[in-house]
Amino acid sequence: MTPKHQVGLFWFNNDLRVADNHALEQASREVEQLICIYCLPPSANGKKGPSSPSGHRLQFLKESLIDLNSGLNTLGQNIEVYFAPPLETIAQLITQYDIGALYSSSSADYYVNTVWQLLRQRYSMIAFNQVNSSSLFDPEQLPFSLNELPDSFSKFRRKVEPIEVRSPLATLASLPPRPSNATARQWQQQFPAFENNPAPLFKGGERSAADHLQGYFARGLASTYKETRNGLDGMDYSTKFSPWLANGNLSPRIIMQALREYEQSVEKNDSTYWIYFELLWRDYFRCYAQKYGKRLFTLGGINQRKPATSFYPERYQKWCQGNTPYPIINACMKQLNTTGYISNRGRQLVASCFVHELNLDWRYGAGYLEQQLIDYDVASNWGNWQYLAGVGADPRGHRQFNLAKQTQTYDPDELFINKWAGNDCSPVLDSVDAADWPILDSTKAPKI
Ligand SMILES: Cc1cc2nc3c(=O)[nH]c(=O)nc-3n(C[C@H](O)[C@H](O)[C@H](O)COP(=O)(O)OP(=O)(O)OC[C@H]3O[C@@H](n4cnc5c(N)ncnc54)[C@H](O)[C@@H]3O)c2cc1C
């Protein structure tokens, strides 16, 4: 048996839960004392910038951290939240507590992985353990290496579908205690201020995730998922697992366990299969982000083929505010700004409009969704944007949605558009021409 490390450090990221957390379980076996930390993303600290999280995101994150703290308390631990970059924070803690082993869940986040690599290079005497806690499949189950990841989702799906999804872990009974000289930090008071939404759609945390999961299946919604999943408004047309998955309050294997139980005890049909199918998309984009690293964020995408595009500040602003000449887009963007969430259909439409009708650089659209979405997930957001911008994993390349036809199909009576005041908008896209000269409405132009 390998001797236990004296003090271990657990770095939480998008795995804010105790249940089915493989990295935490490994740490619980391997160290005598443990310190659990979370570092708020640098974009959330200090000045507001293009990727600073919105109030919706911060509220959900804070709730998740508070709930994680309660979960850890029951196991004799607590979470320490730092408002400083992880590299400096972890380096300081390593020295201060003579850390022997560092633990974290595997991440699809390029920034997190870069910090991890830098720490690894700097502290060769420490044991580094990054453990998969957030995907359906473990890397060693996949019949290909990351470099050989299939170039389309369909090929990926065919290869992984025969693989069994492992059961979630048994509940942890306890965790090693904190070192006696580690004093608890009062992080809640220091949390950045945000506009509190008194009626949020979702509440962050492992307990509300479990309640939501249980309620979703208890109400039989899984039986009709495939028929309803393209809805635009409401809580029941799709699973709404994403906010809890993105923050790691819920593991995909816990979802799969509930799904399989539902299939056995209630019904197994195309809809229940389709929930699994969508979770495969999530796994695909996680692998994709890990494989392509920083290419996930470049204009030319994975093949470095740059689309012909420009930047029009007025168009960008109108899109963000929901003030374009396209009512369906305006409704989606106003819904996003008010709630922090839009449907999958809505996301496809706003991204397609951004790229095709507005001819904007897709990365600014992805950046805006990163800021606003409660369920922001680096791999799913940037991977889907690349797909729609024709620079990613879509074998068909360019995908332009016909906005009038989509409105006719998904909002024929304009109930969604009216609810979100999508018609209350600017009738024109540009108020100036390429030379910055005002474009006048010909019907109102003065006669010369
Ligand atoms: C432009 C764009 C940006 C997106 N950004 C994000 C994001 O930041 N975070 C995020 O979680 N999803 C993102 N998605 C994927 C998808 O829209 C959301 O996962 C979904 O709308 C979340 O709602 P739900 O949980 O009810 O989904 P459901 O339809 O109920 O699906 C169940 C689960 O499957 C996964 N899933 C479904 N569709 C996709 C997909 N296309 N790609 C990856 N996983 C999927 C999600 O984990 C989801 O929770 C994006 C899609 C587009 C087109």
Q: Does 239 contact ligand 1 (Cβ within 6 A)?
A: yes
pLDDT beneath 50, residues of the chain? 445-448
Q: What CA–CA distance (Å, rounded) separates 37 from 155?
A: 38
Backbone angles phi, psi at 8, to 5 degrees: -115, 155
Does residue 363 line the site of ligand 1, with CB under 6 A?
no
* Nearest ligand 1 atom, CA 237: 26
Q: Is 394 in the pocket of ligand 1 (CB under 6 A)?
A: no
Query: What is the fold of 1-133?
Result: Rossmann fold (3.40.50)
**pTM reported for the whole predicted model:** 0.95
Domain span(s) for CATH 3.40.50.620 in the chain? 1-133
- Tell me where in the chain the CATH 1.10.579.10 domain(s) lie: 303-419
User: Please, are residues 270 and 226 in contact by the beta-carbon 8 Å criterion?
Assistant: yes
**Token representation of residue 393:** 């994993």
- Model pLDDT, residue 446: 47
Residue 198 burial (10 A CB sphere; 0-12, 13-18, 19+)? exposed
In this structure, the residue with its CA closest to atom 12 of ligand 1 is: 380
CA 71, CA 138: separation in Å to the nearest integer?
25
Q: Is the CB of 39 under 6 A from ligand 1?
A: no
pLDDT computed for residue 50 by the predictor: 65
CA dist 386 and 302 (Å) reads 8
Q: Are 288 and 393 in contact (CB under 8 A)?
A: yes
pLDDT digits (tens, 9 = 90+) for 353-398: 999 999 999 999 999 999 999 999 999 999 999 999 999 987 676 6
Please choose from 282, 349, 385, 391 the residue to mutate so as to test ligand 1's pocket, defined by most ligand atoms within 8 A of CB. 282
CB atoms within 10 A of CB 4: 14
Q: Is 369 near ligand 1, meaning CB less than 6 Å away?
A: yes
Would you state the pLDDT for residue 448?
A: 43
Cβ–ligand 1 contact at 276 (below 6 Å): no
In CATH, the number for domain 303-419 is: 1.10.579.10
Sheet holding 127-131, edge to edge: 79-82, 31-39, 5-12, 101-105, 127-131
Q: Give the SS3 label for residue 80.
A: strand
Q: Does 241 contact ligand 1 (Cβ within 6 A)?
A: yes
Give the pLDDT of residue 425: 85
Q: Give the model confidence (pLDDT) of 206-232 as tens digits.
A: 999 999 999 999 999 999 999 999 999
